[in-house]
Amino acid sequence: MPYITTADGVQIYYTDQGQGQPVVFSHGWPLSSDAWQVELKRFADAGFRAIAHDRRGHGRSEKTYYGNDMDTYAKDLAAVVEELDLRDVVLVGHSTGGGEVVRYAAQYGQDQQRVSRVVTAGAVPPLMLKTDANPDGLPIEVFDGIRASVLKDRSQFWKDLSESFFGANHGRAVSQGDKDDFWRQGMLVNLAAAYDCVKAFSETDFTEDLKALTVPILIAQGDDDQIVPIGDSAYKSIQLVKDGTLKVYEGAPHGIQGDYQDKLDEDIINWIKG
């Protein structure tokens, strides 16, 4: 299987399909690059080189105890891009992956002229946690509860989380297979990585990263996102970037699935080609 090795010796798994302008996908928590299987085929079929990696501690990447923080995630993404010598890259990040691609693009990709565009979907930037400077955020008790649930019974927690992740609890048509695959990917995460990543996605402030972006960014999100509230994320992020396009999907959940997935993929491809 294809792996790259980071500077601190961690093996990162990736999938690489198709030819053309590279589109690199970063997945959400607690998933893996398998969450992008549909996109890998669709974008390769559309004439792109589609690449997705498993974040450290997730999927088939090394089950790490150290480095489960956003700065290291961005360094790992840089290692993938540099090892494959990718240029003119379009970065696509979902949820936690949205934070990862924004930080990488702001701190690595632009200076090296690696990145041409960024896409986020249901992404965690600018900041999820409620602070004095971010009074509209979610209180720390929400994230403490997530950590406690992951530690106590992660298997049941993934099953429960799949309901709101895909909006099944709000009446969306979600197959048992989609829910089961969410659970399957979640069970591949190293427990320490899953636990520590909660801090990474909730407490990392991406405000300055968003302000530093000079490349175009498409900020997409469903208005029924129960995991990352749209008022704390997309609506705030679009005000911080220099060259942003906001796309809101009525009734769409956090998870990229069903009709939301079909429309989002179509819109991203058209935006890149446009």
Catalytic residue among 26, 95, 116, 162: 95
Residues 217 and 120 sit within 8 Å (Cβ to Cβ) = yes
Quote the tokens at residue 266: 């179509």
Active site residue 225: yes
Catalytic residue among 225, 232, 233, 237: 225
Q: What is the 3-state composition of the chain as percent helix, strand, coil, each rounded to the nearest 5?
A: 45, 15, 40
Active site residue 254: yes
* Coil vs helix vs strand at 92: strand
DSSP secondary structure letters along 200-227: HHHH---HHHHHH--S-EEEEEETT-SS
Catalytic residue among 27, 53, 58, 254: 254
Task: Round to whole Å and give the CA distance between 215 and 221.
Answer: 19
Active site residue 149: no
Nearest in space to 73 (alpha carbons), one of 37, 101, 46: 101
Q: Which own/partner pairs from 16-19 qualify as long-range (CB within 8 Å, at least 24 positions apart)?
A: 16/49, 16/50, 16/51, 16/84, 17/41, 17/44, 17/49, 17/50, 17/51, 18/43, 18/44, 18/45, 18/47, 18/48, 18/49, 18/50, 19/44, 19/47, 19/49
Catalytic residues, which ones?
95, 225, 254
